[in-house]
């Protein structure tokens, strides 16, 4: 068993759909002006899903994980590690992964969260792959789950129109067949201020700024360069040519970033999975949500070569190249 392979995927989107027109009408009541036209033209987003108050990243993660287990055809007891990528955990501790473990009944499975903002799923996959290949875990639940609607400043139209809530999950298992072929991760902490949520709990109070802040143009430039370099690096390590990739499943931040990226890498736009129009940016959940959607609608097939990529706050970036 020298590989880690995805044997099941699942996802969860909240029931409430908020179209750009719905959001524009809601924001207008606060004196904040936006429009469907502006949002579609600058981002490609047409709608997003949002949780009702009280629904947490744990709730979404548990549903996505159950769907992934069902798809994989394995029982919760077979899971020996759970890793949740999230920046919107409901508690400081226990981790979201521990709360999910209890809900699923994976008694005894190790459980922890990773936090790398929108790159979280790539970091979690890289960690899970290492555990499996080292023989320290056989079946890992890797989950990205977010409720970014809780950390948005609804008076800041430059950010509040961009995000949605959701969760995606995969079961990564020990296998004799090739699965994860390569991993490339990176970070540049000196770029902390281009995308951040700087609130924290101290002395019994939330202090600092509890909302997400972003320098959109700086993020755009960093994202395109980081994703392009990371794609080339992971392919070089795995001995794969970019032309061989069947599908790109990138972090769904902005359709203009994705168009720029596919042009820069010479990858046909038809090979890029886009769910941004329906899901908006769901941070660490966006890649597993897109992967699950493209598997379930029959686009991504067994045996195909898939490049998953994340980029986001930190600044962080990462790529995971897999054979499905
Ligand atoms: N509706 C209407 N007008 C708006 C909105 C809005 N929602 N947001 C900004 N504007 C206005 C601004 O006020 C500004 O008007 P002004 O010149 O009168 O002040 C004008 O539009 C241009 O604002 P910019 O911020 O310069 O807009 P830009 O063209 O850079 O587009 C965007 C903003 C879409 C965020 C862009 O910078 C971008 O694509 N950045 C990439 C970052 C990204 O996608 N982040 C997602 C999260 S990060 C991640 O996941 C990695």
Fold of 3-175: Peroxisomal Thiolase; Chain A, domain 1 (3.40.47)
**44 neighbors 256 (Cβ within 8 angstroms):** yes
Q: Could you tell me the CA-to-CA distances from 29 to 24, 32, 46, 151, 179 in Å, in that order? A: 9, 7, 20, 20, 50
Say if pTM beats, i.e. exceeds, 0.90. Answer: yes
User: To test ligand 1's pocket by mutation, which of 254, 256, 259, 285 has the most ligand atoms within 8 angstroms of CB?
Assistant: 254
Which residue, 273, 231, 277, is CA-closest to 254? 277
Identify whether 98 is a catalytic site residue.
no
Domain 180-323 has CATH 3.40.47.10: yes
> In the chain, where are the structural domains located?
3-175, 180-323
**130 CB neighbour count, 10 Å cutoff:** 14
pLDDT per residue over 163-220, tens digit each? Answer: 999 999 999 999 999 999 999 999 999 999 999 999 988 888 888 898 999 999 999 9
pLDDT per residue over 118-139, tens digit each? Answer: 999 999 999 999 999 999 999 9
Q: What is the Cα–Cα distance from 135 to 54, expressed in whole angstroms?
A: 39
**34 CB neighbour count, 10 Å cutoff:** 17
Query: What ipTM does the predicted assembly reach?
Result: 0.94
Q: Whose CA is nearest to atom 36 of ligand 1?
A: 216
Q: How many helices (DSSP H) and strands (DSSP E) are in the chain?
A: 10, 15
């Amino acid at each position: 068993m020298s590989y880690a392979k995805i044997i099941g995927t699942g996802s969860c989107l909240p029931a409430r759909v908020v179209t750009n027109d719905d959001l524009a009408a809601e924001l207008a009541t606060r004196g904040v002006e936006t429009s469907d036209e502006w949002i579609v033209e600058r981002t490609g987003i047409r709608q997003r899903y949002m949780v009702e108050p009280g629904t947490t990243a744990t709730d979404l993660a548990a549903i996505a994980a159950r769907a992934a287990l069902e798809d994989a055809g394995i029982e919760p007891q077979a899971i020996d590690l759970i890793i949740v990528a999230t920046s919107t955990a409901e508690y400081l501790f226990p981790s979201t992964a521990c709360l999910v473990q209890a809900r699923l009944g994976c008694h005894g499975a190790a459980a922890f969260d990773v936090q790398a903002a929108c790159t979280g799923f790539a970091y979690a996959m890289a960690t899970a792959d290492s555990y499996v290949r080292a023989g320290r875990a056989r079946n890992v639940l890797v989950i990205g789950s977010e409720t970014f609607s809780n950390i948005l400043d609804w008076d800041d139209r430059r950010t509040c129109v961009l995000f949605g809530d959701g969760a995606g999950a995969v079961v990564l298992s020990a296998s004799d067949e090739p699965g994860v072929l390569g991993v490339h991760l990176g970070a540049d902490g000196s770029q902390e201020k281009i995308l951040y949520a700087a609130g924290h709990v101290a002395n019994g109070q939330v202090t600092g700024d509890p909302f997400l802040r972003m320098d959109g143009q700086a993020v755009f430039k960093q994202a395109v360069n980081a994703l392009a370099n990371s794609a080339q690096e992971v392919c070089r390590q795995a001995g794969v040519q970019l032309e061989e990739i069947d599908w790109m499943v990138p972090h769904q931040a902005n359709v203009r970033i994705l168009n720029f990226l596919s042009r820069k890498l010479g990858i046909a736009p038809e090979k890029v999975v886009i769910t941004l129009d329906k899901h908006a940016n769901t941070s660490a959940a966006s890649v597993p949500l897109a992967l699950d959607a493209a598997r379930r609608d029959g686009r991504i097939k067994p045996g195909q070569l898939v490049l998953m990529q994340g980029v986001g706050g930190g600044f962080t970036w990462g790529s995971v190249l897999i054979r499905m």
